[in-house]
Amino acid sequence: ANSDDNVIISAPTGAGKTVLFEMAMARMFASNLVGKHLQHNKQYGIGGVSNMRKAVYIAPSKALCEERQADWSKRVADIDPGITCTTITGDATTSSSCYAEIASAHLILTTPEKWDSITRRWNDYVVLLGSIKLV
């Protein structure tokens, strides 16, 4: 359907949940590019994708996050070379560095445990976490 309504996908392994996320991510980035030639201001990066629209992919393991980042970094560069991906797992040194990475990235890949620790301090980062449009 042609809608931006919220949905929850519950399906067994191998049923295509990741493909649905990829389609939603492509739609989000593509719709963000529509107005890039009409508006030029500081919230737009080099390629024109706003840093005020972010996607978060939560994977069960660090290895899966790294695998998805390697694949998606190449794919989103085809949409716009200015789109950046980052992986945030329990290996990050400080929470402030995590928030800096989130602020500069368009696509954030993380584990459930790390995302839980990041979002526990949501009051300190309301604007940053408010820019997340797809999980």
**Tens-of-pLDDT digits for all 135 residues of the chain?**
578 888 899 999 999 999 999 999 888 887 776 555 444 444 444 456 777 889 999 999 999 999 999 999 998 888 788 889 999 988 755 667 888 888 889 999 999 999 998 888 888 888 888 888 888
Per-residue pLDDT at 73: 92
Of 68, 55, 64, which Cα lies nearest the Cα of 105?
55
* C-alpha pair distances (Å), 59 with each of 12, 28, 78, 93, 132: 15, 20, 23, 20, 17
- Distance from C-alpha of 36 to C-alpha of 99, rounded to nearest angstrom: 25
Tokens of 50: 């706003």
Tokens of 63: 């290895």
pTM of the model: 0.82
Per-residue pLDDT at 79: 77
Per-residue pLDDT at 44: 46
What is the DSSP annotation of 50-83?
A: BTT-EEEEE-SSHHHHHHHHHHHHHHHHHH-TT-
